[in-house]
Amino acid sequence: MARRVRQYTGPYERWVFGKNLGRPFSFPAIRNWSSRYFAALMDSQTALPDVSTVKFRAEPGAPVERVDIRYPPLWNDGQGLSVRPFCFYDPAAEEEPASTSIEDWIDMLLELLDQNIDNFDASSDNRPRPRYRINFPINPATWTQDYDPAGPVGDFAPQVTAPKAIIAVIDDGIPFANRTYLNSAGKTRISNCWLQSARSPGPGAVPFGRELSNGEIDALRTEHGRDEKAIYYAAGAIDADLPEMGNYLLRETTHGAHILSTAAGKTLGKTQEPSQDDIEIIAVQLPNTIAWDTSGFGKEMYMLSALHYVFERAKRIAEAHGSAELPLVVNFSYGWSGGRHDGQSEMDTAIQELLESRRTLAPTYLVMPSGNTYLDKMHANFQESEFVNDEISIGWQVQPDDRTSSYVEMWLPEGLDPDGYTFEVTPPRGVSFDATPSLALRGAPRFPRGDPRNFVNLRVGGAAVGQLSVDKNRGTRWRAMVALAPSMPLKMPNDDPPRWATSGRWTLTLKRTTAADRLPDGDYINIWAQRDDDPSELRTGGRQSYLVELDKAPTQKSALPEYKQPLSLVRGFGSMNGVANADLVTRVAGYIQSTGQPAPYSSAGGLLNTDDPAPETWGQHVDICGVSDRSPVLPGTVAQGVYSGARSILIGTSGAAPQVARSIVRALADGLDPMSGMATQVYEYENPVKNVHLKARLGTYKSPPLWAGG
């Protein structure tokens, strides 16, 4: 196949899917690419094409559809939304030899899709093209062969009494057979559960994976009794032949087990609590590979599909009882560190649109953790005063023996004219690039479609060890970015020579000419190193990179919090979860139960240095705090594990969020104000800096603990 212009390739897509770039370091589904099934997002005001009537063919009269497209269950058919999930595949794959270029194949299919979208804009007399974000591939074994998004869910049985509210959890490792989710009649409270990466059993109302209804779960419990492991095997929730599913539910606990039981199960340590029979449960289990790449790339379609599924199934539950939409609380304890952090990313936009629309019908909350990176030196903030000789620089420490790619992003303020700005990267001492990499912040003419963008490969001895890029994300805000290969030699496909990026201190520099625009008053440049930790159950071998303030003299770090100005360039304020920046998201930080103080790792909203007595805030901030540690010597929260009677301990703000979700949904079911179970927090210390710092870390409300002690 002839080489094509990559019309839809952003910096992450180019690196991750590039055969001679980052693809050999991606997880197996991409590294050993064979699937012709992919997930994606469409970012456009254009109406979605009706795939039931439109046939996509490579050429007129072609006997085989060249690209087959399907949408997940979309709440209200996706009307009025600009960011929509979809998935697609190539039915002609068996008719012709496989392409050696995954980028060419994706580009060709999206071009065919583009040709069938009616997006003519009469006011401008042109045809604006949608933006696409390609996500991770879908395992062919999970593809539903006879998919009907409007079809019935097998054996679904409405409860005898209509629920007063619905709690939903989107996570991994969902233990739907655990007895903690039974109602007083011994029936499951889980009305619907979508296992996104399970083997498809045949016809279904989800585009891939398997959906379990309450009737099917109860039938499995009747057939297998208390043998919950047998239930999971029978349901396809344990499948060693599918890496995206795997044997995760053979563990005593999972992240999803802890979150779901905290949000909707029976709590540990309380002798009596209100019956939850009036609160129904919807659950979505994401593919395990969601956690393999912690950068945030490639997951949005699965996440957004899960949200639509929850909203759509909640609507069906209400309709089954002849009622209007019910109060709904969704807990999604997940996130990443990079991104725009201004509420304008694809995911933030999609989340905001969904919440705004549904809130006109019923109370709707999406609860998310603030993150756990406050101490990890992954964020830096530059204001105009930090420019010296019209340039700023930051160190980026890449650790040795990192088996995964590393990423760092620099975001310029929206509206800044970048003419005269250039972005450079310098490798650690003793390493020289084949050519000095430098990119002006402007698009390259060879990319006439999509966002303005440009790329240059970082080469050492002819081998590509990284990628330097600039792009105007969603056409509104400039980003400069570096992607690096692992910092140790790994076995390469086809016995190609190993290539790796040197560990040590890399330097990122943004330069500008004397004629270039200055940063407007109140604007700033943000930098985030992407999350690259190693989930213990997946053993990716990732090691977290971090930012370093250059030419800063070493100082003795105080053991106690310091409430003073100015903040250093590298700071925890601004480490907020990168996917929790939509205005209507409920952001939850963590506090220590025995002291009431912020958990040391709990991420916070952004603060700017000022000449005033206290710093100013920017971006979204923490709304509520919940317990994430019982005491300084008893870290984590306690919940139930995978199997009935098992116990789980989880450290992090992920464990605080479902406590808040539980409190909100209980209040809504009781007809009360959603914050009625919270304590209002007031910060009135003599030090105004302390007041701002604590509010940025703990928020306005405080959720009480679910258990006694500390």
Record the tokens describing residue 24, joined without a space.
């050999």
The Cα–Cα gap between 640 and 646 comes to 6
Instruction: Name the band, by pLDDT with cuts 50, 70 and 90, for residue 106.
Output: confident
CB 450 within 8 A of CB 133: no
What average pLDDT score do residues 701-707 get?
Answer: 93
Percent of the chain with pLDDT over 70: 87
Condensed to tens digits (0 to 9), the pLDDT of residues 642-699 reads 999 999 999 999 999 999 999 999 999 999 999 999 999 999 999 999 999 999 999 9
pLDDT given at position 288: 80
The pLDDT-based confidence of 3 (bands split at 50, 70, 90) is very low
Angle at 111 between CA 105 and CA 117, to 5 degrees: 145
pLDDT in tens, 559-612: 667 788 899 999 999 999 999 999 999 999 999 999 999 999 999 999 999 999
Which tens digits make up the pLDDT trace of 517-528? Answer: 999 999 999 999
Q: Please give the pLDDT value at position 671.
A: 97
How many Cβ atoms from other residues are within 10 Å of residue 111's Cβ? 16
b/e map of 556-591 (b: 16 or more CB within 10 Å)? eeeeeeeeebebebbbbbbbbbbbbbbebbbbbbbb
Which residue, 527, 435, 534, 453, is CA-closest to 486?
Answer: 534
Is residue 58 very low, low, confident or very high in pLDDT (cuts 50, 70, 90)?
low
pLDDT at 115 over 70: no
Q: How many C-beta neighbours within 10 Å does residue 458 have?
A: 23
Among candidates 286, 291, 316, which has minimal Cα distance to 301? 286
pLDDT in tens, 534-543: 555 556 788 9
Query: What is residue 330's predicted lDDT score, i.e. its pLDDT?
Result: 99
The 10s digit of each residue's pLDDT in 120-170 is 444 444 446 778 888 888 999 999 988 999 999 989 999 999 999 999 999
The pLDDT score that the predictor gives to residue 616 is 96
- Predicted confidence at residue 1, as pLDDT, reads 33
Determine if the peptide bond prior to 400 is cis (ω within 30°). no
Give residue-wise pLDDT tens across range 389-438. Answer: 999 999 999 999 999 999 999 999 999 999 999 999 999 999 999 999 99
Q: What is the pLDDT of residues 454-501, one digit of tens each?
A: 999 999 999 999 999 999 999 999 999 999 999 999 888 888 899 999
For residue 237, pLDDT over 80 is answered with: yes
Q: What pLDDT is stored for residue 133 in this prediction?
A: 84
Fold entry, domain 376-569 = Jelly Rolls (2.60.120)
Total Cβ atoms within 10 A of residue 286: 26
Which residues on adjacent β-strands are paired with residue 625?
589, 702
Beta strands 624-631; 701-702: pairing state: parallel
How high is the pLDDT of residue 448?
A: 80
Backbone phi, then psi, for 268, in 5-degree steps? Answer: -95, 140
Model pLDDT, residue 361:
98
Q: Is the per-residue pLDDT at 359 higher than 60?
A: yes
Give the rounded distance of the alpha carbon of 365 from its chain centre: 17
Of 25-29, 212-216, 384-388, which range is least confident?
A: 25-29
Q: Which residues of 35-67 are buried (b: 16+ CB within 10 A; e: fewer)?
A: bbbbbbbbbbebebbebeeeebeeeeeeeebbb
- Beta strands 328-331 and 165-171, pairing class: parallel
For 323, the token pair is 């009622």
CA distances for 161 relative to 326, 327, 570, angstroms: 13, 16, 54
Tokens 């990559």 found at = 6
Domain 165-369 class, CATH top level: alpha beta
